[in-house]
Amino acid sequence: MRIISILTALLVIAVLYGVIMERDRLLGFAQDIAPAAPAAEEAAPAVEEAAPQDRSAAAVAVIAMRSTAQEIDDAVVLRGETQPSREVEVKAETSGRVISAPLPKGSAVAAGQALCTLDPGTSGASLAEAKAALAEAEAQRPQIEARIPEAQASLVQAQAQLEEAQINLTAAEELAKGGYNSRTALAAARAAQRAAEAGVSSAEAGLKSAESGRDSLEASLESARAAVARAQTTVDDLTIEAPFAGVLESDTAELGALMSVGASCATVLQLDPIRLVGYVPETDVARVVPGARAGARLTGTTLVTGTVSFVARRADETTRTFRVEITLPNPDLAIRAGQTAEIAIEAEGALAHLLPQSALTLDDDGRLGVRTVAGDDSARFMPVTVLRDSREGIWVRGLPDTVDVITVGQEYVTDGVPVAPSFEEVIQ
């Protein structure tokens, strides 16, 4: 029995050696002993059947869907948050101790309402002193201004005296030429003219002095008014008021607290109207225009509507997106600042395809798109632009009106690879 097993093993080894190691020689021997005609007749059908078998074997099985473009009311969809239309931290402009009771955060305040009141100290006395100095300067105005007409009258009188002296001197000179006047009288006339000229000069100096006194008075008055304004500003700064109607985001300064210049009194928010702020990509920024209607869904089921009030002209350097602001009324202050919002901005209608999100893929260059079935049953990548997503799928544009989109297996094929599509509607 053992000899038979050994012989059987040797026989098997010999057969395997012949099949594996001497395969080419055995095939040549078989072709030599086979009839020639039947082999030639069977060769053609074998070649004809090989091509379809090889093509079928190379095609990749995928699942596709036939999509037809639909016209939709297009909208630019963003995610953003609510922000107050105005926000300011009210700070002290002078030093002092708080003497008013604090207002709690969340309180509604009116424009001009006192938020913090500081101890006046000597500010009131400084204001009174400045006002008194101003009144004193004002009281000097009539006296100083009256000097100007007096100086002008003196100048006119001096000029008349000079004219008279010149006439007398001319007459004395003419008489002296004819020998009818003495040298003493001529000298007296000349002395009178020089005295008149000195009188004119003195009157002109008096007029300039009067005018200078008036200018000095005006300067004193301006200085006094400035002192009153400074003192009044200091007194006004003792009461820190709300710049606009809104809501307190923080408590006002505590009673008895010592405030210095720049210390915070409170933070005031204006929530009516309120703003929705989002960022639109550069591919869609041209579709957003100021004045366009917009709707938003806040956290939960709250729906609000407003209009686009601002579209940035410069992109964010990091995200390459543009800031968009939407203004909407909020009379009951039900919308709070900082709430997350899903925003839809009205835009022109467009033809789009509704596809499952799983159908999207990327090509070697990182472009977003889908794999489609070309006319020769090969895969082809087509880039798309996402318009918006929904519960049923995602709306995209950039495809032909009718297209076969690969929904399963698109990650395993590239452009030109043969595919054997099975359509979803047939499977269903």
Query: Of 101-105, 168-172, 252-256, which gets the smallest average pLDDT?
Result: 168-172
Say whether pLDDT at 107 is over 90.
yes
- The pLDDT value recorded for residue 101 is 94
Q: Which two tokens stand for residue 299?
A: 């956290």
Residue 175 sits at φ, ψ, to 5 deg, of -70, -35
Residues 51, 27 within the same domain? yes
Give yes or no for a cis peptide into 273 (omega within 30° of 0). Answer: yes
**pLDDT at position 151:** 82
User: Residue 239 pLDDT > 60, yes or no?
Assistant: yes
Please compute the mean of the pLDDT values over residues 136-164 and round it to a whole number.
Answer: 83
Those residues with Cβ within 8 angstroms of residue 405's Cβ, 6 or more apart along the chain or in another chain: 64, 65, 66, 67, 353, 355, 359, 370, 371, 372, 373, 399
Residue 143 sits in the same domain as residue 220: yes
For 391, the token pair is 């519960």
| CATH at 416 | 2.40.420.20
Q: What is the pLDDT of residue 426?
A: 39
pTM exceeds cut of 0.95: no
Chain center to CA of 138: 52
Kindly report the CATH number assigned to the domain that includes residue 312: 2.40.30.170
Task: Average the pLDDT over each of 84-88, 135-139, 386-390, 402-406 and give the range with the smallest value.
Answer: 386-390
Residue pointed to by tokens 């009144």: 135
Tell me the CATH number at 94.
Answer: 2.40.50.100
- Number of structural domains in the chain: 5
| Tens-digit pLDDT profile for residues 375-406 | 889 999 999 988 777 888 998 988 999 999 99
Length of the chain: 428
> What value, to the nearest 5°, has the Cα angle with vertex 354 and ends 350 and 355?
140
Q: In this structure, how many other beta carbons lie within 10 angstroms of the beta carbon of residue 105?
A: 13
Q: What is the DSSP letter of 118?
A: B
Dihedral sign for Cα 214, 216, 217, 223, please. positive
> Are 367 and 100 in contact, with CB atoms under 8 Å apart?
no
* Structure confidence at residue 37 (pLDDT): 40
Question: What per-residue string of b and e applies to 257-287 under the rule 16 or more CB within 10 Å gives b?
Answer: eebeeebebbbbbbbbbbbbbbbbeeebbeb
CATH number at residue 170: 1.10.287.620
**What percent of the chain has pLDDT above 90?**
39
Are 28 and 55 within one domain? yes
Tokens for 2, please give them: 């053992």
Q: Give the residue, 357 or 168, on which the prediction is more confident.
A: 357
- Mean pLDDT over 108-127 rounds to 90
pLDDT at 428 > cutoff 50: no
Final residue before a domain boundary, out of 196, 229, 263: 263
Residue 417 and residue 307: Cα distance in Å, rounded? Answer: 49
pLDDT, tens digit (0-9, with 9 covering 90-100), for 327-383: 999 998 889 899 999 998 987 777 889 999 999 999 888 899 999 999 889 999 999
- On whether the CB atoms of residues 286 and 104 are closer than 8 A, the answer is no
CA distance 105 to 333: 15
Residues 204 and 143 in one domain: yes
Q: At 252, phi and psi to the nearest 5?
A: -75, 170
In this structure, are 415 and 281 located in the same domain?
no
- Is the pLDDT score of 425 beyond 70? no
Hey, what are 212's tokens? 């200078």
In the structure, what pLDDT confidence band is assigned to residue 221 with cuts at 50, 70 and 90? confident
| C-beta of residue 305 within 8 angstroms of C-beta of residue 327 | no
Please tell me the predicted confidence (pLDDT) of residue 57.
54
Per-residue confidence (pLDDT) for residue 427, from 0 to 100: 37
84 pLDDT tier (thresholds 50, 70, 90): very high
Lowest-confidence pick of 41-45, 113-117, 160-164: 41-45
Residues 322 and 296 both lie in one domain: yes
Q: What is the mean pLDDT of residues 191-206?
A: 85
With a pLDDT cut of 70, the percent of the chain lying above it is 86
> Could you tell me if 310 and 325 are in contact, meaning their C-beta atoms sit under 8 angstroms apart?
yes
Residue whose tokens read 């094929």? 413
Strands (DSSP E) found in 153-263: 239-241, 246-248, 258-259
- One domain for residues 112 and 253: yes
Same domain? For 216 and 274 the reply is: no
Same domain, 18 and 156: no
End residue of a domain, out of 349, 371, 392 = 349
pLDDT score recorded for residue 177: 76
Under the banding of pLDDT at 50, 70 and 90, the label for residue 27 is: low
Arithmetic mean of pLDDT over the chain: 84
**Secondary structure (3-state) at 205:** helix
* Alpha-carbon span 426 to 406, nearest angstrom: 14
Separation between Cα atoms, residue 298 and residue 78, nearest integer Å: 12
Based on the domain organization, do 190 and 220 belong to the same domain?
yes
pLDDT of residue 23: 60
Beta-carbon count within 10 A of 379 CB: 23
Same domain, 175 and 214: yes
Q: Does residue 142 sit in the same domain as residue 181? A: yes
Contacting residues for 362 by C-beta, under 8 A, at least 6 apart:
368, 369
Give the domain range for residue 337. 77-81+265-349
